A and B are shown apart, each in its own frame.
Chain A
Amino acid sequence: MSVSKPLPHDAARLHVTGAARYVDDIPTPARCLHLAFGLSQVAAGRIKSIDLEAVRHAPGVVGVWEANDLPSDCDCSPSAHDEPMLSGKTIHYFGQPVFLVAATSYLAARKAVKAAEILFETRDAILTIDDALAAESRFEDGPRVWSKGDAGEAIDTAPHRIEGEIEMGGQEHFYLEGQTALAIPQEGGDILVHASTQHPTEIQHKVAHALHLPMHGVRVETRRMGGGFGGKESQGNALAIACAVVAAKTGRPAKMRYDRDDDFMITGKRHDFRIAYRAGFDAEGRVLGVEFVQYARCGWAQDLSLPVADRAMLHADNAYHLPAIRIESHRLRTNTQSATAFRGFGGPQGMLGIERVMDHVAHHLGTDPLAVRRANYYAAAQDVDAGGGPAPRSAQPNAPRDISGPKKDADSTTRGASPTVSQMPGAPQPDRVRAPQHQTTPYGQAVTDFILHAMTDRLERDADYTKRRETIAAWNAQSPVLKRGIALTPVKFGISFTLTHLNQAGALVHVYQDGSIAMNHGGTEMGQGLFQKVAQVAASRFGLSPEAIRITATDTAKVPNTSATAASSGSDLNGMAVKAACDTIRDRMAEHLARLYQTEPGTVRFADGHVHVGDAVLSFGEAATLCYEGRVSLSSTGFYKTPGLQWDRIKGRGRPFFYFAYGAACTEVVVDSLTGEYRILRADILHDCGTSLNPALDIGQIEGGYVQGVGWVTTEELVWDSEGRLRTHAPSTYKIPACSDRPDVFHVALWDGANREDTIYRSKAVGEPPFMLGISALMALSDAISAHGSRYPDLHAPATPERVLSAIQRVRDGD
């Protein structure tokens, strides 16, 4: 069967020959206009005067527009209708588009922009978390608070207590392909948009809104993106709308591509967070109560900040059963780029909060942080041997198990309940874990699939963690300048959109009379290999090899009302929808062929490129021809919605996630105490993809996710100056990991076990979870720094060499 095969990316050959087409590679249509935005040069205030005469007369310029020249507000927001494409008089951030230029060439448009004369009247900008708190500048009326048990009481009465704070910076997506869109006018006022977007339907919706067209008047096509990472979920709206508006106004095609510096200045990034914490725990490090106050810097517009901040709250437990917890979340509004989706979507920030607590607790007790982590793990899932034996690998779907629907949820653990019965983690006994009551997350979802005990055991063994910790301690004792550190951290990541209705997908499959197949679904390809995985699913349904399947561009005219390719959901949702479509066609074919050959439809088999009907063996092409001649419809849509979800985000209760994906990473670093420079020496990763649809692509996501996560916590520093101007606005100043930054030794293994939920071939989502494996690098740095003294390093992220050096100085001064 074609699923589970480590096949290359479907476009690999096109990538390596330069033949893969991205939006800007589409041959520029005749008379195409090129667009550029003129950007605000202050962070907050009003436009006192604006003179665009010189822009209008610059060579090649065809049109110049300000906000009030547009047919509508051209709102670009994915949520709150608070993002007009052009600023109007009021300025909300440094880099906000103020006017739009169309010219006959890309360079002409960019040069023309520089001729603008704008006088700004500035007011004090709200830039930092503290500024926003002082000004009560926030989204939603006040902080969101979710709690379970009485955390304050539990902390105050606990034998040990710590408190602290961790700052974590944002992160620029740095998709290698910048934001791009191309709009081509069609007959009758319709518009075709080619966009580099994770969310074609939203582009369609926003363009239709801007032009006062019904959605059927706008078609959006996306063949591939040169990386997305969440940065193309909503941030491409402005370009697509701009192109569509200009195309509609001029009747000419219009293309817009942000210069890299503009891309940095205009678009949103990962939310930076400050998380203050207080925890009470026992002598083993078991957390009895914990309080988090999460401050998220959301930027000027709401965008996706609410669900991002929700997801940070939803991951405040990571892998740990926290009997009493209170999470307070502030969504702060600042005069900066509007922070947006980025791989993990708040999950990394929430998770880093609790990982920091684990590290701090272990430091306080002087124990191995891994022991503390284990002591706090959720109880193991019922049928997993905690000794490390994987669940049986199975490609055959089992009957789905019923887990907490609303009814069960209502009577599961309540606020004050402390499931002390399962408070013996580390060595779960089979009889105990078989107890009917599951431990629940802070938001009340039962954790039924927890496999991290066994995974941690295996990774600890494979990475030789315990012995290396000793070796490192000995090495550090004789090395005054350089110190090593090691850390093993887990990931438990919830899979599903937290906005429940988004968990749906559609597909369209055609079988042609020669047996070739064209497949389309609502997911977009940004490098993650979704198209190949889904093609493998389709091929498997028909017993064919994936070459028989033609994967076509995502197109709102083929599959409507799609969700963003986000929340790691791409193959879960679209794989199922494609399967449904294939099965419909397959059943129709089987029925017809069975009738022809006078046998039972149930006995018709599709395998090895053939169709077995009774004693006859037909090639798939022959079978397709017979069905066509028998007037059988060989085209079908497919649809899927994730079952069992139910979620109340205000109360913070319910079952937002279909299942959890797990992983663990062990990272070793070496740190120079003279300059704070450091390197990652080795990383070992064990990650859970359920029954992998394609192990090669999954390993690719894990390696890439880890390195991107390491970037977030190490060198990727965003610096805004006191004027609110982003100073790190190009790769010259913003440093994502380069080739030599990957670990010298880098082992990645897949956990061998099926998803307990009935997902596509029992696989698990893999887009986002591995990102958070990178947290182990920050913890390893903290470990190395700790070797310089007795004080806790209090290391913030990103831990640039400068921050590392100052942490070393702190640790030494503390002695």
Chain B
Amino acid sequence: MAQLLRRIEGATLEQGQFWYSGRFFTMDITFLLNGESVSLRDVAPTVTLLDWLREERGLTGTKEGCNEGDCGACTVMVADVEGAKALNACILFLPQLHGKAVRTVEGLSGPDGGLHPVQSAMVDHHGSQCGFCTPGFVVSMAVAHLNGDTAHDDALAGNLCRCTGYAPIIRAAQAAEQAPVPDWLEPAKGFRMPQQPAPLDMAPDSADALADALLRTPDATLIAGATDVGLWVTKGLRDLGPVLFLGRCTDLQQIEETEDGLRIGAAVTMDRMLLAMRDRHPSYAEMIRRYGSAQVRAAATIGGNVANGSPIGDNPPALIALDARLHLRCGQDRRVMAIEDFFIAYGQQDRAPGEFVEAITIPVQKDRLRVYKLSKRFDQDISAVCGAFSITVEDDIVTAARIAFGGMAGIPKRASHVERALVGKPWSDATLASTQDAWEEDFAPMTDMRASAGYRLDSARNMLRRYFLEDRGEAVSVLEVTP
């Protein structure tokens, strides 16, 4: 690890201190590991929990299957006062654990070696073959079990198994549903929760402190859920230089009803976003159900998804269709813009140095939103096309239309020609047909490994048709057909 230290830009002063851009940062991370308190003063901020567990602690139960958040072999349980979540240790940096409790597969069995109910169910139901995916599954299952979550397909969408075909794992998960949470994992009993930890300079604990720190270190990389940034390190092998973690800014994690609508803090994770959308915009919530996996949704933030400016992020199209506003902040200066104006061109956003995303507001509206996420695989797959539609129809005439797509251009983009071709027209087959050419005026998508340009255009067009048919009550989703 000493070697990792040296690679950080700037010199090491004394144990636990870094010098970044003219300023000291202290580094004293404390968390609980399988019930034992751990304090780290000499690790670089971008060491992943997975590498640390395996290489420094010799806890090799947690496996590496991909090192990019896609397979779940590295799943660990991370708890704080909000509760327990499953997270991918391969894209989780140690400072993100500050003040939390981590449990690895080694910490699931009882002190006397007794198996956790999901572990014994996995043995009884033949849920492991090669066993390499198994620790990750067992941890995901234990988290779901602790939280009383029985939507197993959703809880396990981020755990890949190449051997079993999943059926025995689901049987095991079902069999363990009724078993009581073992003593040693009951928060009230054995499962120790961390104490309020000391402040950590690179992880400010309020938006004000963040704004300050970012003004002083405008070149710092902001790290929220690290579901993008993690890969820059594990796959891109990049040295990030100064970093600032957002995870402790509790005021950025609030969801509030305001006069302008629903205000969502930038650091709100996708799992909480799903809950917020469930009643307001159920189709948005259904899209989020397929966004990444439980592990990814528990880490990824809405701010990160917007700020990264990706043309294939799934939130921006939905937010554009909902006419959301983006709140940016630099020091004490704030500005607000229509979210689609944030995306200027591929890789270029309207964000100045020292500025960060503080919140997003979604105006109160009657729900007309449908979001269609199209990918090769339903779960844990980046969209080839993500279409969001909000079309208002009064007396069979389209009175308003907001349509936006991901995957169709270099940025998340509105289908303005299509919108124009709809507004003022009867809500009919003929009007749909008349939009045919508008699509090509709006979009010239590219061909890549996810989809061809032709397929992207065809399916985008057909999504409008799907919206129309769905509006008429026709069955259009294979996910709703039962055997």
- Is A21 an interface residue, CB under 8 A from the partner? yes
Residues of A within 8 A of B81 (CB): none
A746 — nearest CB in chain B belongs to which residue? B167
Q: Tell me if A696 and B483 are in contact (CB < 8 A).
A: no
* Known contacts A110-B237, A704-B165: A14-B482 contact under CB 8 Å: no
Q: Tell me if B126 and A482 are in contact (CB < 8 A).
A: no
Q: Tell me if B123 and A227 are in contact (CB < 8 A).
A: no
Residues of A within 8 A of B483 (CB): 668, 681-682, 744-745
Q: Tell me if A261 and B235 are in contact (CB < 8 A).
A: yes
- Is B465 an interface residue, CB under 8 A from the partner? yes
- Is A458 an interface residue, CB under 8 A from the partner? no
* Known contacts A12-B128, A16-B122: A802-B382 contact under CB 8 Å: no
Residues of B within 8 A of A603 (CB): none
Residues of B within 8 A of A670 (CB): 478, 481
Interface string of B130-163 (1 = CB under 8 A from A): 1111110010000000000000111011011111
Residues of B within 8 A of A28 (CB): 55
Q: Tell me if A176 and B71 are in contact (CB < 8 A).
A: yes
- Is A11 an interface residue, CB under 8 A from the partner? yes
- Is A490 an interface residue, CB under 8 A from the partner? no
Residues of A within 8 A of B378 (CB): 677, 679, 738, 740-741
- Is A294 an interface residue, CB under 8 A from the partner? no
A468 — nearest CB in chain B belongs to which residue? B483
Q: Tell me if B128 and A479 are in contact (CB < 8 A).
A: no
Q: Considering the complex, which residues of chain B in the window 45-64 have a beta carbon less than 8 Å from any beta carbon of chain A?
A: 51, 54-55, 58-64
Q: Considering the complex, which residues of chain A in the window 1-22 have a beta carbon less than 8 Å from any beta carbon of chain B?
A: 6, 8-9, 11-22
Q: Tell me if B481 and A114 are in contact (CB < 8 A).
A: no
Question: Chain A nearest CB: distance from B67 CB in Å?
Answer: 6
Residues of A within 8 A of B397 (CB): none
Residues of A within 8 A of B161 (CB): 176, 739
Q: Tell me if A704 and B129 are in contact (CB < 8 A).
A: yes
What interface size band does chain B fall in? 35 or more
User: How far does the alpha carbon of A336 sit from the alpha carbon of B70 in the complex, in Å?
Assistant: 25
Question: Chain B nearest CB: distance from A723 CB in Å?
Answer: 13
User: How far does the alpha carbon of A9 sit from the alpha carbon of B475 in the complex, in Å?
Assistant: 44
Q: Tell me if B58 and A27 are in contact (CB < 8 A).
A: yes
User: How far does the alpha carbon of A678 sit from the alpha carbon of B135 in the complex, in Å?
Assistant: 31
Q: Tell me if B478 and A671 are in contact (CB < 8 A).
A: yes
User: How far does the alpha carbon of A670 sit from the alpha carbon of B481 in the complex, in Å?
Assistant: 8
Q: Tell me if B126 and A12 are in contact (CB < 8 A).
A: yes
Interface size of A in residues (CB-CB distance below 8 Å): 102
- Is B439 an interface residue, CB under 8 A from the partner? no
A748 — nearest CB in chain B belongs to which residue? B167
Q: Tell me if A481 and B61 are in contact (CB < 8 A).
A: no
* Known contacts A707-B165, A742-B165, A805-B459: A527-B60 contact under CB 8 Å: no
Residues of A within 8 A of B62 (CB): 18
Partner of B160 from A668, A728, A731, A801 at Cβ < 8 Å: A731
Interface string of A25-37 (1 = CB under 8 A from B): 1011000000000
Q: Tell me if B133 and A681 are in contact (CB < 8 A).
A: no
- Is A221 an interface residue, CB under 8 A from the partner? no
Residues of A within 8 A of B106 (CB): 17-18
Residues of A within 8 A of B157 (CB): 738-740
Binds A, one of B185-193, B214-222, B348-356, B447-455: B447-455
Q: Tell me if A732 and B382 are in contact (CB < 8 A).
A: yes
Q: Tell me if A732 and B126 are in contact (CB < 8 A).
A: no
* Known contacts A17-B106, A259-B67, A742-B165: A736-B160 contact under CB 8 Å: yes
Q: Tell me if B58 and A731 are in contact (CB < 8 A).
A: no
- Is A63 an interface residue, CB under 8 A from the partner? no
Q: Considering the complex, which residues of chain A in the window 715-751 have a beta carbon less than 8 Å from any beta carbon of chain B?
A: 715, 717, 719, 727-728, 730-733, 735-742, 744-746, 748
Q: Tell me if B374 and A704 are in contact (CB < 8 A).
A: no
User: How far does the alpha carbon of A259 sit from the alpha carbon of B483 in the complex, in Å?
Assistant: 40
* Known contacts A675-B462, A802-B455: A730-B70 contact under CB 8 Å: yes
User: How far does the alpha carbon of A752 sit from the alpha carbon of B382 in the complex, in Å?
Assistant: 44
Q: Tell me if A8 and B376 are in contact (CB < 8 A).
A: no
User: How far does the alpha carbon of A107 sit from the alpha carbon of B236 in the complex, in Å?
Assistant: 12
8 contacts between A and B (CB under 8 A): A6-B126, A527-B132, A675-B462, A699-B126, A700-B129, A700-B164, A735-B375, A746-B165
- Identify 5 new A-B residue pairs, CB closer than 8 A, beyond the known A16-B122, A17-B108: A15-B134, A107-B237, A226-B131, A715-B377, A738-B379
